[in-house]
Amino acid sequence: MTYDLLIPSQLMRALTPDLVLMTGAMIMMLVAAWRTESDAHQRTVGFGSLVVLAATLGAVLWMAASGDTAGPGVIAVDRFRWAADIVFLIAAMGTIALGMDHNTRDGVTHAESHVLVLFAVAGMMIMAAARDLMILFLGLEMMSIAVYVLAGMNRRSERSAEGALKYLLLGAFATAFLLYGIALTYGATGSTNLTVIGTRINIMQLHHTAMLLVGVGLLLVGFGFKVAAVPFHMWSPDVYEGAPTPITAFMASAVKAAAFAAFFRVWVDAFSLLDFAWIAPIWWLAAVTMLVGNVVALAQRNIKRMLAYSSIAHSGYLLLAIAASSQLGAASFIFYLIAYTLATFGAFAIVATLTRNNELGLDLVDYEGLWLVRPWLASAMAVCMLALLGFPIFGGIGFFAKWYLLQAALSADHNLLPLTVLLVLTSVVSAGYYLNLVRIMFMKPRGDAAHAIGATGMMTRVVLAVTITAILGFGVFPGPLARWARRSFPVPPAEVQAASAKTASR
């Protein structure tokens, strides 16, 4: 079925998963406020939020299986949207599962954090579906406001308050760039609809219009902040370190995935004809981000800051997929997001287990000799580090993710060969901190001053079991996931494609 998005009933049907999630989020908000704060209540809200996410995931899978599409309008109905939604929902489930155990261990009794995760995911799903810059901005702000609060959720931590304040101020600054870019793009093309913008650039020959090019540059700055690309990464290490560990995992995976999904759709749908203008900036952004992220990570002694700079480096890798801007680039993009999300949540589940009061247990010294006292935790962390490194066999899903990314870059119309070489070289640099952590866990003796490790919570064990099983399973059998990702390309509506082809043939 092809939805006519001008008909309200069909627009509502195209938004079914989003409506399920938003309705559930509002119900859980009332439930969270209904009773006084307690550990039992926050876990009740957490389990209820997991049910809402599971129902939303069911709606997404149902919509994806139906094969429905949509004509021109403000939202997209395609496999790229559903693939991105699945990544967001899986990450949100992992966040809430880790959050329940983390809150219990640290004596945090407020249940609002679980509800804020639901609202953040609702904003992410709008971003992935948006085919209009104003709808994209609405989803971005819904996500950002929720994440600003989540980053400062630990009110007893000065680092958390500092990180949240930095994130709020720099986020508002970056949003201004994004909004000004939207305004200039509208001024040059007369529309905020992505497919209409792309068509008008073609028909009206706006390729070298100064207003449009400046607007594209400002949009690039705004997206660069959201994906923590260098030099717009300054907020990332402090916010990742200060935020509660489950929220750090959420920001490093889902928030980054949502920004990249919107980034990819905007560039493919609206600005594909302006590649002469934006390919060079993205090329340099990717190069500097890969280099700075990996080199600075080598010097980190705090595990969360190390993973923060690792996340920055992975942003550089994903910028390669945007530079490729092809069907293979979209496939490698989705595959990489899934691999990165699984490895990130596995790693942060272990970090959350070893962390006390959100600050103790974050130094690399605390991981010395982990194999001697918790062999399964050490083995699981090693698998996650190898996956992030892209090592074959145990980190197989990470290896295939980078392999597909390199294939997409090498087959692109632009000359991305230097970037692919840099990706390989910086991946070698990343071995310095990923394998160093493995060395510390397996080859160092347990220090006398090392703090005792508490019991791993039930939900944390579930997250670890699922992520490690998925990493190893997809590492051995990547074919099904690769075929599914290959079908997830953001294709413009048929009417717009026909108009563009007709114009190009004149």
pLDDT tens per residue, range 63-92: 888 877 777 788 888 888 899 999 999 999
Q: Are 310 and 236 in contact (CB under 8 A)?
A: no
Where residue 138 falls among pLDDT bands split at 50, 70, 90? Answer: very high
Where residue 502 falls among pLDDT bands split at 50, 70, 90? Answer: very low
What is the pLDDT at residue 497? 47
Where residue 396 falls among pLDDT bands split at 50, 70, 90? Answer: low
Residue 491 has pLDDT above 70, yes or no: no
The 10s digit of each residue's pLDDT in 273-304 is 887 778 888 889 999 999 999 999 998 888 88
Greater model confidence, 252 or 452: 252
- Report the pLDDT averaged over residues 186-208: 87
Residue 230 has pLDDT above 70, yes or no: yes
Q: Are 81 and 491 in contact (CB under 8 A)?
A: no
The 10s digit of each residue's pLDDT in 232-269 is 888 888 888 888 888 999 998 899 899 989 988 888 88
In this structure, the number of other CB atoms found within 10 A of the CB of residue 503 comes to 11
Phi, psi of 444 (to 5 degrees): -100, 145
Q: Are 208 and 116 in contact (CB under 8 A)?
A: no
Residue 365 DSSP one-character state:
G
- In one-letter notation, the amino acid at residue 68 is D
* Structural element, H or E, at residue 2: strand 2-3
d(CA 167, CA 165): 5
Q: At what angle do helices 458-476 and 79-106 cross, to 10 degrees?
A: 150
In Å, what is the CA distance from 263 to each residue of 225, 240, 304?
Answer: 11, 22, 26
Residue 34 has pLDDT above 90, yes or no: no
This prediction's pTM:
0.89
Average pLDDT, the chain: 85
The 10s digit of each residue's pLDDT in 211-228 is 999 999 999 999 998 888
* Structural element, H or E, at residue 70: strand 69-70
Based on its alpha-carbon atoms, the radius of gyration of the chain, rounded to whole angstroms, reads 22
What is the pLDDT at residue 291? 93
Burial (CB count <10 Å: 0-12, 13-18, 19+), residue 71? middle
- In one-letter notation, the amino acid at residue 84 is A
d(CA 495, CA 195): 10
- In one-letter notation, the amino acid at residue 436 is N
Where residue 186 falls among pLDDT bands split at 50, 70, 90? Answer: very high
Q: Are 245 and 468 in contact (CB under 8 A)?
A: no
- Report the pLDDT averaged over residues 9-28: 91
d(CA 340, CA 150): 22
In this structure, the number of other CB atoms found within 10 A of the CB of residue 489 comes to 20
What is the pLDDT at residue 501? 45
What is the pLDDT at residue 336? 87
- Report the pLDDT averaged over residues 367-396: 84
- In one-letter notation, the amino acid at residue 229 is A
d(CA 333, CA 339): 10
Q: What is the DSSP string of 299-317?
A: T--BHHHHHHHHHHHHHHH
The 10s digit of each residue's pLDDT in 424-445 is 899 899 999 999 999 988 888 8
What is the pLDDT at residue 494? 47
Torsion of CA 252, 256, 258, 264, to 10 degrees: -150
